[in-house]
Each structure stands twice: as C-alpha cells, then as structure tokens.
Amino acid sequence: MGPKTPVPEGDIFRQPLREQINLKHPLVRLADLIDWERLNAAMSASFVSHRGRPATSPRLIAGLLYLQHAFDLSDEEVVWQWLENPYWQVFTGETYLQTKPPVDPSSLTRWRKRLGEAGVEELLAETIEAAKRANVIKTSSLKRVIVDTTVMEKAIAHPTDSRLLERCREHLVKAAALHGLKLRQNYNREAPRLAGQIGRYAHAKQYKRMKKALRTLRSRVGRVMRDVERQLDGVAQQGRAALEELIGRTKRILTQKQKAKTSCTRCMHRKSSAWRKAKRVSRTSSA
C-alpha cells in the first residue's frame, strides 16, 4: 500500500508546534520553501507496496535523510535527535510534538536502497530550487561548480608516467577502430607488456633497462599516433576535431619533461589537474 496523506485535525488538548517555535528558524523557512507535493509525487513510486500496512510518509523519509546528511549523523543519531528537536519535527511535516521515534533506525538503510540514486537526486534538485526561490543563489551560479579537491584522490598520473603513454595508445587504437581507420600495427600485446616491465625495472632500481623500455614504448606510441595522423583526411569532419585533440595531447605527453611548468597528467580529461607540491619526487615515480 502507498503512503496515506495525513489530514491535520485540531486537538483542543495539544498546541500545534508552529505556535510554540520560532518561525524564522532556518529549518522552518526551508520547509516552507520546499515543494513537498512535487517531491512526494516524484518519490511515491518507491513507497508503494502490495502488502503490509501503509508506507511511511515520503516527506518524513526525505526530511530524515536530508537532516542526516546536513548534520553528518548516523541512523540512530538522526532518529533520536528528531525525537528531541521540535524544529526537525516541523521540517518533516509534523503538526504536534511527537514523543515516539518516527521509524526504526535500521529501516533507513532499506529506505535509501528503495529510493536509489534517482530519489536522492530529486531531493537535491528540490533543495536547489528552494534556494533559488529564496534568492539565496542565482541561476547563473549553477553553471560552474568549484570544488576544493586538495586531499581528494584523482585518476591522474605522474607527468612522465609510462601508464600515460599506454593510455594514449589505447585511446588512439579505439578511435581508429571507431572511425574505420586501418592501422599498420596497434601493439596491443607489446605495449602493455612494456608498461609492466617499466614499473618492475623501476621498483628493482634497474634504471638502464627501465629507460630502454621507456624509449621503446614511446616509439611504439609515436608510430600509432603518426599512423592515425596520416589518415585524418579520410575522417568525417564531425569526428576529426576529437581525433586532432587526442593527437595533440599524445604529442604533448610524448615530449613533456618531468620539471615542466605545465604538464598533462591525464590522457582524456581536460579539466583535471594536480597541484605541484614542494616535495622531492623519487626516480621510481617517473617510470
């Protein structure tokens, strides 16, 4: 059964929460700005069941998940703090003060699974729309997101890492197959083996062998790149720009040095970059 819409009824023995709290509280103002009816309609499909009692209110679950994320709480903490905080109860749609937990803390895990990624995105979209309605943010502010990722792991490599060369070769071979270009050789066997050897030689501090394997890998990647470059005229105009960009990045990776001021650290990602830190880079990391 789907959730039933609660009908608020007057109670002469109890006073509504909104008559006892500060209506200028941020959570109360946010609750008034969110379009709960639209959110309920978007999330109601996750709350329908063909057996058992009526499902919990979508607003209650959405509100609890929002509060949990906003205040960084566990399932148990958000339920018990909801019980003690009248502003949280108003945010989740309660009319009168509740003295019992709204749900079992263990059920929040199941609700998150039932909502899925789409339900969470709906909640996020509605909070953004509420902020726009409150004139807290402008539409133009959403065109670009600036995130401080100083301590965040990224899928980037050292500027002279042999894996970058292998990734360039893989992308060139895939692009050639996509556009129907016939390569003389693609080195699908030799290049991955060379990339692995370079790492092992570096780990064993066998730098002469490492440099020799690195030169061989560079020459193989250069051959594939030039083979694709010679056949650019036979590629349709709509796909030629992407191929030219890939070739340009491959040339940059083939020629860049370890101490270059601007270096390419990822083959197919234009916006990702790594800050240089005042640390000594070991020779093994330049393999």
Q: pLDDT tens, 203-238?
A: 999 999 999 999 999 999 999 999 999 999 888 888
What range does the domain containing 196 cover?
A: 162-286
pLDDT higher than threshold 80 for residue 268 = no
How many Cβ atoms are within 10 Å of 202's Cβ, its own excluded?
22
Answer for the pair 37, 43: CB distance below 8 angstroms, yes or no.
no
Which two structure tokens, joined as six digits, stand for 64?
A: 């609890």
202 and 103 within one domain: no
Q: 154 lies in a domain?
A: no
CA 41 vs. chain centroid, Å, equals 26
Confidence category of residue 286, pLDDT binned at 50, 70, 90: very low
pLDDT higher than threshold 80 for residue 80 = yes
Number of helical (H) and strand (E) elements in the chain, helices listed first:
10, 0
Q: 5 lies in a domain?
A: no
Confidence category of residue 78, pLDDT binned at 50, 70, 90: very high
Dist. CA 169–CA 221, nearest whole Å? 6
Answer for the pair 213, 198: CB distance below 8 angstroms, yes or no.
yes
What are the b/e assignments for 223-245, b being 16+ CB within 10 Å?
Answer: bbbebbeebeeebeeeeeeebee
241 and 179 within one domain: yes
257 and 225 within one domain: yes
Count structural domains, the chain: 2
DSSP one-letter code for 211? H
Rounded mean pLDDT, 66-86:
92
Beta-carbon contacts of residue 33 (< 8 Å; ≥ 6 apart): 130, 131, 133, 134
Q: 266 lies in a domain?
A: yes
Classified as helix, coil or strand, 140 is helix
DSSP one-letter code for 137? S
Beta-carbon contacts of residue 99 (< 8 Å; ≥ 6 apart): 83
Q: 213 lies in a domain?
A: yes
pLDDT higher than threshold 50 for residue 280 = no
pLDDT higher than threshold 90 for residue 153 = no
217 and 116 within one domain: no
128 and 25 within one domain: yes
Position with higher pLDDT, 267 vs 226 = 226
Answer for the pair 249, 221: CB distance below 8 angstroms, yes or no.
no
Least confident of 5-19, 35-49, 60-74: 5-19
Rounded mean pLDDT, 26-30:
91
54 and 133 within one domain: yes
Q: 25 lies in a domain?
A: yes
CA 66 vs. chain centroid, Å, equals 18
Dist. CA 155–CA 85, nearest whole Å? 42
Q: 153 lies in a domain?
A: no
Share of the chain above pLDDT 70, in %: 77
User: Mean pLDDT over all residues of the chain?
Assistant: 81
Which two structure tokens, joined as six digits, stand for 17?
A: 């929460």
119 and 167 within one domain: no
Q: 2 lies in a domain?
A: no
Q: According to the model, what pLDDT value does residue 100 have?
A: 92
Domain boundary among 142, 175, 204: 142
pLDDT higher than threshold 90 for residue 9 = no
119 and 180 within one domain: no
For the stretch 169-188, pLDDT in tens is 999 999 999 999 999 999 99
Q: 4 lies in a domain?
A: no
186 and 80 within one domain: no
